Each structure stands twice: as structure tokens, then as C-alpha cells.
């Protein structure tokens, strides 16, 4: 044994709490506010931007970074991906409102529809994993995979009967995401705080087994 090396080594480990409730609450809040506009209860997107930036974006991205540290792969990727989505959507709205100067007349706002299609593709993979997380998260991902393509179609087919139909589907699915998200956030918070299940999230479907 090296006499210069201390015999007792103390390891300090920083323990971090589960950020899932905060991240899911962020998603719930921004979709609730955004759904109010799609449902026709409110108008415009200007006042949605702060909620999109701070709840939809910052809360989810912050929770994602904590999940990366805790080796929670599902939470890290899902919260990070959707947090970045709301950053981009906020920027899209801000640019279209002229917050950064005169809007380029050649710019096509329908590009947002293709972003929604891209996120739909990725969300299908997330949905497969969500079915093996719990049933509430699975239901949220099913609704997300209704929201994104219908939102894309409503943008591309604006003013047509199909666009109107898809706009309504997007509104109701987004409202459903927010309400289920509020329940999920509350359930995760209470179950973690009390150390037992007070509000069930439902068992995984068990269709796909994880590897060792």
C-alpha cells in the first residue's frame, strides 16, 4: 500500500429528485393554453409564447437534463425532444409576428407543417416505448400522434373542409394531452412524495420485453 495515499476515500454523491412531474406539468400547461386558442376560447398566439418558452420549453428541457444525469433514458429523450419543439414553435410565432424585424415575404409559414410531420415520425417511436412505461403516458403519446399530423394537415389545407376537420381534431387532441398531462404530473408528484401509489398511472402493456 502506498503510504502517501489515504486509506479512507470518501465519495460524495449528489442525489437529485425525479423531475418528471415538473417536465410533464410544463407540457400540460403549454398545451392547455395553446388548446384554448385552437378551441376558439381565445384568439392569437402572442400571449401563448411566454408559456411556450418557459413551461413548454424551459421546464421540459431542464427536467430532461436532470433525467440524463439520473440515467432515465425515456424521460431525458422525451422531455428534451418536446421541450425543443416548443422552442422552435415559439420562434416560428415570434418571427411571424415581426418580433425580429420585417418578415421575409418569400418565407412560407407552411414549413411548420413539415416540422409537425417530422415530429410525428419520431413520436411513433416514442409511443412504442410509452406503452411499456405506463398507460397514462401511452394515452398521451397516442394523442400526440393524433395532434401532430392533424395540425400539419390543417396548416397545409387551411380554408378547406379537410383543413377545418383536422383543425378540430388537433384542438381536441391537444386539450386531451393537457388534461391527461395534469393528471400524470399530479400522480408522479404525489406518488413520489408519499412513497406509495395514491394515483395510479396504469401498468405497462407488456407487449415488448426490455433486454437485460
Identify the pLDDT of residue 144.
98
Identify the pLDDT of residue 12.
52
Mind listing the pLDDT tens digit for each residue in 167-192? 999 999 999 999 999 999 999 999 99
Mind listing the pLDDT tens digit for each residue in 1-43? 555 655 566 555 556 688 999 999 999 999 999 999 999 999 9
- What domains sit in the chain, N to C, each tagged with a CATH number? 20-100+108-194 (1.25.40)
Mind listing the pLDDT tens digit for each residue in 52-77? 999 999 999 999 999 999 999 999 99
CA dist list (Å): 93 to 35, 88, 103: 15, 9, 11
Note the Cα 44 to chain centre separation in Å.
21
Q: What is the dihedral of CA 167, 169, 170, 171, to 10 degrees?
A: 90
The residue written with cell numbers 413551461 in the block is: 55
Which of these, 141, 137, 140, lies nearest to 202 by C-alpha position? 137
Alpha-carbon span 202 to 198, nearest angstrom: 12
Q: What is the dihedral of CA 161, 167, 169, 172, to 10 degrees?
A: -140
Identify the pLDDT of residue 15.
63
Amino acid at each position: 500500500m502506498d503510504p502517501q495515499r489515504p486509506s479512507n476515500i470518501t465519495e460524495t454523491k449528489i442525489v437529485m429528485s425525479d423531475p418528471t412531474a415538473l417536465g410533464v406539468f410544463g407540457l400540460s400547461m403549454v398545451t392547455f393554453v395553446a388548446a384554448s386558442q385552437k378551441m376558439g376560447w381565445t384568439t392569437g398566439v402572442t400571449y401563448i409564447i411566454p408559456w411556450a418558452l418557459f413551461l413548454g420549453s424551459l421546464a421540459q428541457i431542464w427536467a430532461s437534463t436532470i433525467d440524463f444525469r439520473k440515467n432515465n433514458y425515456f424521460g431525458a429523450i422525451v422531455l428534451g425532444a418536446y421541450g425543443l419543439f416548443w422552442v422552435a414553435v415559439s420562434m416560428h410565432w415570434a418571427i411571424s409576428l415581426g418580433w425580429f424585424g420585417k418578415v421575409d415575404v418569400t418565407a412560407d409559414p407552411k414549413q411548420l407543417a413539415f416540422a409537425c410531420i417530422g415530429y410525428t415520425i419520431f413520436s411513433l417511436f416514442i409511443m412504442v416505448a410509452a406503452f411499456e412505461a405506463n398507460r397514462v403516458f401511452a394515452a398521451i403519446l397516442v394523442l400526440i400522434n393524433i395532434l401532430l399530423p392533424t395540425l400539419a394537415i390543417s396548416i397545409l389545407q387551411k380554408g378547406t373542409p379537410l383543413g377545418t376537420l383536422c383543425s378540430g381534431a388537433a384542438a381536441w387532441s391537444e386539450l386531451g394531452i393537457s388534461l391527461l398531462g395534469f393528471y400524470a404530473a399530479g400522480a408522479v408528484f404525489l406518488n413520489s412524495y408519499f412513497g406509495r401509489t395514491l394515483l395510479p398511472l396504469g401498468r405497462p402493456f407488456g407487449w415488448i420485453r426490455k433486454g437485460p
